[in-house]
Amino acid sequence: MRLDKTAGTIARERLKCVMESEPFDCSAENLTQMKKEILEIMGRYFDLSPENYDIKIVLKNKKRAAND
Amino acid sequence: MSEAIVFTSGKGGVGKTTVLANVGVGLSQLDKKVVMLDTDMGLRNLDLVMGLENRINYNILDLLDNRCRLKQALIRDKRYPNLYLIPAATKYRNLSGYTEKFRTLIECLKKEFDYCLIDCPAGMDDGFNFAISAADRAVVVTTPHISAVRDAGRILYLLEYNNFNKVDLVINEYDKHMVRRNEVISQNDIEELLSTKASGVIPYDKKIIISQNQGIPVISLRAKVNTHFNKLTNRLNRLEIVAKKSENLAVKGECVNET
């Protein structure tokens, strides 16, 4: 159960997960897994802990989002 | 110069019509000539919210099909200086063939009005595409509900895809007490999730539903929420901002000439 978190925090986390993966037509788990792998690769090149940066994927062509 | 602004949200019931009606009245009180168009065919409600449901003779499809003249479809709201309504049709029809005619209508209206406010249906299919087809700008209405935020995200995406570069976000039904207790998503969270700053935040106010029941837009009554509607109206009144800027420039130019 997620009772240790408030409803607002849960909502934010769930939304973040869903909204990030939606434009790519891929599941939230797949995206999380992919990010984990990217983090591993980045770890080989930079001396950074994952808390210090964020991975954001920006779609330049919005066509997929528009379903055509 | 005039502008057509579409009010959209993706999800239904978040307050597109309510926000549009009050902004419409607000703009008309700022001495702007305003026409409100309802494009929610089959589920028209703007007439009811405005209290003008008994004055409808013709609707927007009658106009687009040339069954009436523009003057006959325009309902003047006599309570306000320069406010008009064109209601939606009650029967749903396939709108794909009407887009070109709708664009022509808006171009024609823009010659006479400062603002054309278009009430978009919920969803993101042909009704949505019809409503946004003639607009210069968009206002996306959302609430702190997770479903509304997600849908607003989709709509913002679609608007960007359709080359809208002037989009305003409005957060409606905002309950700051629930936010303080961290029970709902905050304004900051919504802005971050949608990568967009809100142009207006409308708090939850019982007066809104009470005034709608009476057919009077809340902005013309005494209510706490009105400071927020007025602020939003001023923000959206961009024609005024542009005009003021050029005025300032002109004044500066004069000063330079004098010295």
pLDDT in tens, B110-157: 999 999 999 999 999 999 999 999 999 999 999 999 999 999 999 999
B83-86 and B115-119 strand pairing: unpaired
Residue from the list A6, A14, A62 with its beta carbon closest to the beta carbon of B183: A6
Check if B146 contacts A (Cβ < 8 Å): yes
N- to C-terminal Cα distance for chain B? 33
CATH label of the domain that carries residue B67: 3.40.50.300
- Determine which helix (DSSP H) or strand (DSSP E) holds B3, and give its type and residue range: strand B3-8
Q: Where are the domains of chain A?
A: 7-66
- Residue with the bigger pLDDT between A4 and B199: it is B199
pLDDT at position B92, please? Answer: 76
B205 neighbors B176 (Cβ within 8 angstroms)? no
Residue from the list B161, B184, B193 with its beta carbon closest to the beta carbon of A7: B184
Check if B132 contacts A (Cβ < 8 Å): no
Q: In B88-236, which residue ranges form alpha helices assigned H by DSSP?
A: 99-112, 126-133, 146-161, 176-180, 187-193, 206-213, 226-236
Sheet holding B83-86, edge to edge: B75-76, B83-86, B34-38, B115-119, B3-8, B137-142, B167-174, B198-203
Number of domains in chain B: 1
For residue B57, the enclosing domain spans: 3-258
**What pLDDT, in 10s, does the model give residues A41-59?**
888 888 877 777 778 777 7
